[in-house]
Amino acid sequence: MAASTRAGARRPAGIVPTGVLVLGAVYTLFPVSWVVVAATKSKAELFSTPTFAPGTGLLSNLADLFAYRDGVFWLWLLNTALYAGGGAVLATVVATVSGYALATYAFPGRGLIFNLLVGGILVPPVVLAIPQYLLFSEAGLAGTYWSVLLPQVLSPYSVYLARIYARAAVPASLLEAGRLDGAGEWRLFHRVALPMLTPAMVTIFLFQFVAIWNNFLLPFIMLGDDHRFPLTVGLYTLLAAGANQPSLYNLIITGTLLSLVPLVALFLTMQRHWRADLSGGAVKS
Amino acid sequence: MRVYRLATAAILVATLCAACSGGSGEPSATAGGGAASGGPVKLTYWTWVPNMDKIVSVWNQAHPDIQVTVSKQAGGDDAAAKFLTAARAGNPPDLVQAEYQMLPSFVAADAVADIKAETAQAKGEFGEGVWGLVTLGTDAVYAVPQDSGPMMLYYRRDLFDKYGIEVPKTWDEYAEAARVVRGKDPKVFLGTFSSKDPGWFAGLSQQAGAQWWSIDGDAWKVAVDDEPTRKVASYWGGLVKEGVIDDMPYFTPEWNKALNDGRLLTWPSAVWGPGVLSSNAPKGKGKWAVAPLPQWNAGENHSGFWGGSSTAVAAKSPSRAAAATFATWLNTDPQALGLLIEEGAVYPASAKGAALMTEAPGYFSNQPDFWKQAAAIGATARGFTFGPDVNVTYNAYRDAFDKAVAARSDFTAAVRTMQDTTVTDMRKTGFTLAQ
């Protein structure tokens, strides 16, 4: 009800922000629409028909992609799902626990730890890839699944986000009341705080999932065995096929399109969660 | 993709330098594979040749005691950087595909082994020129040659007829033909100068007789701006400035489109051209033909190399002898060569392998003697020794020629920039340079 009255009273000035958003949407969706159209083109059509004229080769592209090296595409997709899913879940757990601790407990060195984390946000992960590779090599872990999973488990930005959100959404008085009622710290976190932190967790999960899904340099350096490659690195081997081999553009474009599908699906399902809980959190204080 | 590539290369190279000063020298005990006592020797092999796993499975069946696992990698400069990083970190694959121009940087980093003893009988299978690319003019042998890329001129036979042009025998005739084409149809170019493909430019310089690097005792001599190279640069610079040659880079979507639309009539390329043309310009099937590269002086007969690679054994590999045996089999055994041609679309470097190429590629079905021509041209190709920092030289090529093309300025100045950048980098890295 409240929503409908607000919508009815929309001022004409709302046109400007809407226009800007529409422009932004066009700007970001334009390349995606190219991928969609280009994936339908056969080899012969790709570079000869007008850019946005749909082609006739989608099915044969799909068949070629799935047949390529006995369906290695599916393996790459599974790997990516493992890296992104596993990495995002672990990162969310780590970030939520540490963010909650940083927000609710006063302990010596809290400021220092937090400042170090904020500093960590400023270091682009790309810069860390090679040092991480050398470290993992020392530990004998380079080339394993862990070498791609572990570096993504701690995300300073996610911890920062969790801490900010926990401070705003979990009132100290509520925890105090729980303590008076005799709840232990674990129970407080688990039963009282966690439900309030869900929107932050969804956000962190999505952020990390997308970041790992798109990550290129870390797996590119870490992994030698192409059966452990994620999609980004796998598709890249089709593109950079060597100077004397043609790039397999059709397969790359079709593969790119398919690799978008899980991301879009994830956003569409998680988004609902996200909105409901954000408004739920807003009522609290 | 290009941004990715440049960024990766830059980062890898930068950290490599850091790693070599600070890294620990001890070889890691966990280095890949490992020859455990008892069971078969296990080898890992990084390559980007298509279907290499099928070729290797033939070997694995026949050699239960030496089992090779293929890991298909992305090709090109990134592959070299990745291998160098892995070698530094102590866990390289046992075998690696090494492009000829990258091999010296592997040698300089002590990343590949000298396999002279293991490849003694392989030497006779290869021509002098190709063998020189894996010995670097020294007594050692750092790899077994796999494929080579002698250069030739691809041209649209149908459109040559349409515009009434003869196949150019000299570069002067090529320039004249370029003017004629422009006069007849302002939408069409005879060819294009690519500022993104240093390997192509290196091949053309080799044809002209350039010697960019040479080893003099224990010192390097660098002559990227030698007289033949300057001649090549000023020739193309003149054509670009005159506007009779296009300046779009190869292997780009716009280049593909121009090929498909019949707006580019020639491509001075290498023997592996049919694969690229059939994939990027499927509309031109049956319309192209090959001829020797135009010559600098009438009556001469020279060509250069663009591309080509070898199989090297990592210095840290615990099973060097087994790896060298496999590399020799892969590149000299008739059965392996047949598979390389059929499954891997490779133009073998070995003389025996080249002789196996008989049926013209489908794209060139109109030219049944394609491979005979290719072999004749291949015999005239001359290469040069590559230096230990080719990636720096090649990046300098891209930067300097990008600018020179955009500004229509002097191409010989760009060559000088390449020379200066190369020399500066080699000094900084600690190589001894001869004056």
Structure tokens at B292: 């020797």
Residue A239 confidence (pLDDT): 85
Backbone angles phi, psi at B305, to 5 degrees: -115, 135
At B13 the pLDDT is 45
Measured between beta carbons, which residues in chain B are less than 8 angstroms from residue A64? none
Position B434 in a domain = no
Q: Is residue B370 part of a domain?
A: no
Give the A-side interface with B, CB within 8 Å.
43-44, 46-48, 69, 126-127, 129-131, 133-134, 137-138, 140, 142-143, 216-217, 220-221, 224-227, 233, 236-237, 239-249
Q: Cβ B78–A226 below 8 Å, yes or no? A: no
Q: Does the distance separating the beta carbons of B89 and A142 come in below 8 Å? A: yes
Do residue B1 and residue A142 have CB atoms under 8 angstroms apart?
Answer: no
Q: Which pLDDT belongs to residue A45?
A: 84
pLDDT given at position A276: 52
- Decide the pairing of beta strands B288-291 and B144-156: antiparallel
Average pLDDT over residues B128-151: 90
**pLDDT of the residue at B62:** 95
Residues B315 and B296 in one domain: no
* Chain A nearest-CA residue for B346: A244
Cα–Cα dist A107/A101, whole Å: 10
Q: Across residues B88-108, what is the average pLDDT? A: 93
Q: Do B69 and B130 fall within a single domain?
A: yes
Cβ burial, residue B123 (10 Å; 0-12/13-18/19+): middle
As a whole number of angstroms, the distance between CA B8 and CA A257 comes to 24
Cα–Cα distance between B246 and B264 in angstroms, integer? 9
If you count them, how many residues does chain A have? 285
- Tell me the pLDDT band of B67, cut-offs 50, 70 and 90: very high
Q: Which residues contact B314 (CB under 8 A, 6 or more apart)?
A: B87, B92, B93, B94, B95, B96, B111, B112, B113, B323
pLDDT, tens digit only, all 285 positions of chain A: 344 444 445 556 688 999 999 999 999 999 999 999 999 998 878 877 888 888 888 999 999 999 988 899 999 999 999 999 999 999 999 999 999 999 999 899 999 999 998 898 998 888 899 999 999 999 999 999 999 999 999 899 999 999 999 998 888 888 888 899 888 899 999 888 998 898 899 999 999 999 999 999 999 999 999 999 999 999 998 888 765 666 788 899 999 999 999 999 998 888 777 655 554 544 444
State yes or no: pLDDT of B172 exceeds 50. Answer: yes
Structural domain count of chain B: 2
Identify the band that residue B31 occupies on the pLDDT scale cut at 50, 70 and 90: very low
Closest partner residue to A44 among B15, B28, B283, by Cβ? B283
H/E stretch holding B144 reads strand B144-156
Residue of A nearest to B151 (CA): A244
Residue B276: closest C-alpha in chain A: A246
- Yes or no, beta carbons of A226 and B72 under 8 Å apart: yes
Can you give the length of chain B in residues?
435
Chain B residues lying within 8 Å of A130, measured CB to CB: 11-12, 15, 19, 85
Task: Give the 3-state secondary structure of residue B204.
Answer: helix
pLDDT in the model for residue A8: 47
Inter-chain CB pairs, A–B, below 8 Å: 135
Which two structure tokens, joined as six digits, stand for B266? 């020639």
In this predicted model, what pLDDT tens digit does every residue of B256-284 receive, in sequence order? 889 999 999 999 999 989 888 988 888 88
User: Residue B246: left (phi > 0), alpha (psi -120 to 50), or beta?
Assistant: beta
> Of B93, B280, B309, which has the smallest distance from its Cβ to A224's Cβ?
B93
Q: Are residues B6 and B95 in the same domain?
A: yes
Question: Using CB atoms, which residue from B8, B76, B281 is nearest to A243?
Answer: B76
Q: Is the per-residue pLDDT at B169 higher than 80?
A: yes
Is B143 in the same domain as B155?
A: no
CA distance A220 to B4: 11
**pLDDT of B192 over the 90 cut:** yes
Phi-psi sector, B164: left (phi>0), alpha (psi -120 to 50), beta: left
- Whether residue B377 is contained in a domain is answered as no
Using DSSP's 3-state secondary structure scheme, residue B419 falls into helix
**Residue B137, in any domain of the structure:** yes
Same domain, B191 and B271: yes
Question: Shortest Cα distance from A5 to chain B (angstroms)?
Answer: 49
Q: Do A247 and B251 touch (CB under 8 A)?
A: yes
> Which amino acid is residue B239, in one-letter code?
L
DSSP A248-281: -HHHHHHHHHHHHHHHHHHHHHHHHHHHHHHHHH
Taking an 8 Å cut-off on Cβ atoms, the answer to whether B15 and A131 are in contact is yes
A134/B19 CB distance under 8 A:
yes
Asked if B168 and B300 sit in the same domain, the reply is yes
Annotate B64-125 with DSSP letters as a single string: TTEEEEEEE---SHHHHHHHHHHHHHT---SEEEEETTTHHHHHHTT-B---TGGGGGGGGG
Q: What per-residue confidence (pLDDT) applies to A22?
A: 95
Specify the pLDDT at position B78: 85
| Inter-chain CB proximity A245 and B75 less than 8 Å | yes
- Encoded amino acid at A284, one letter: K
Q: Which residues of A are less than 8 Å from B102 in CB distance?
A: none
Q: Which of A244, A247, A253 best tests the B interface by mutation, with the highest count of B CBs <10 A? A: A244
CATH of the domain at B100: 3.40.190.10
Which residue stretches of B23-76 are H helix? 52-62
Which chain A residue is nearest to residue B256, measuring alpha carbons?
Answer: A47
User: Do B19 and B89 sit in the same domain of this protein?
Assistant: yes
Candidate from B7, B48, B71 with C-beta closest to A224: B71
Q: Are B307 and A244 inside 8 Å of each other by CB?
A: yes
Q: Are residues B104 and B253 in the same domain?
A: no
- Residue B80 covered by a domain: yes
- The runs of H, that is alpha helices, within B243-307 are 253-260, 273-280
Inter-chain CB proximity A245 and B50 less than 8 Å = yes
- What CATH number matches the domain at A65-283, 3.30.750.210, 1.10.3720.10, 3.40.50.1100, 3.40.50.2300? 1.10.3720.10
Amino acid A7: pLDDT: 47
B368 falls within a domain: no
Shared-domain flag, residues B316 and B283:
no
Q: What is the pLDDT of residue B6?
A: 44
Task: Please give the C-alpha separations between residue A105 and each of A88, A172, A179, A183, A184, in angstroms, as whole numbers.
Answer: 25, 10, 13, 16, 14
The reply to whether B361 falls in a domain is no
Packing angle between helix B390-407 and helix B77-89, nearest 10 degrees? 150
Give the pLDDT confidence score for residue A246 in this predicted structure: 67
Cα-based distances in Å from B169 to A244, B153, B179, B299: 25, 10, 16, 9
Amino acid identity, position B80: A
B329 in any annotated domain: yes
How distant is the Cα of B171 from the closest Cα of chain A, in angstroms?
25
Do B176 and B278 lie in a common domain? yes
Of A48-57, A60-69, B56-65, B153-162, least confident by mean pLDDT is: A48-57
Q: State the smallest CA–CA distance between residue B352 and chain A in angstroms.
A: 20
Question: Long-range contact list for B161-168, CB < 8 A, 24+ apart?
Answer: B163/B188, B163/B265, B165/B265, B167/B291, B168/B294
What pLDDT is attached to residue B27?
Answer: 38
Mean pLDDT to the nearest integer, B360-376:
89
Q: Which one, of B192, B221, B191, B224, lies nearest residue B206 by Cα?
A: B224
| Per-residue model confidence (pLDDT) at position A277 | 53
Please indicate whether, in this complex, the C-beta atoms of A43 and B89 are within 8 angstroms of each other: no
Percentage with pLDDT > 90 across chain B? 67
Nearest-CA residue of chain A relative to B253?
A: A47
A-chain CB neighbours of B251 within 8 Å are: 247
pLDDT, one tens digit per residue, over A156-168 is 999 999 999 999 8
At B308, phi and psi to the nearest 5?
105, 150
**Residue-range definition of the domain harbouring residue B37:** 2-149+308-354
| Interchain pair B276, A246: CB under 8 A | yes
Whether B144 and B154 map to the same domain: the answer is no
Do residue B76 and residue A133 have CB atoms under 8 angstroms apart? no
Same domain, B155 and B183: yes
Predicted confidence (pLDDT) per residue in B35-51, tens digit:
445 689 999 999 999 88
Instruction: Give the pLDDT confidence score for residue B14 in this predicted structure.
Output: 45
Please tell me the predicted confidence (pLDDT) of residue B20. Answer: 40
Q: Can you read off the two tokens belonging to residue A19?
A: 């226009």
Instruction: Please state, in angstroms and rounded to a whole number, the distance separating the CA atoms of residues B432 and B435.
Output: 10
**What percent of chain B clears pLDDT 70, i.e. is strictly above it?**
91
| Beta-carbon separation of A134 and B28 below 8 A | no
| B255, B189 Cβ separation under 8 angstroms | no
pLDDT band at B28 (very low <50, low <70, confident <90, very high): very low
Measure A69 CA to nearest chain B CA, in Å. Answer: 8
In Å, how far are A131, B115, B317, B353 from B332, measured between CA atoms?
40, 15, 22, 7
Residue contact A242–B78, C-beta within 8 A: no
Contact B94, B32 (CB under 8 A): yes
pLDDT score of B355: 85
Q: What is the dihedral of CA B203, B204, B208, B210, to 10 degrees?
A: -50
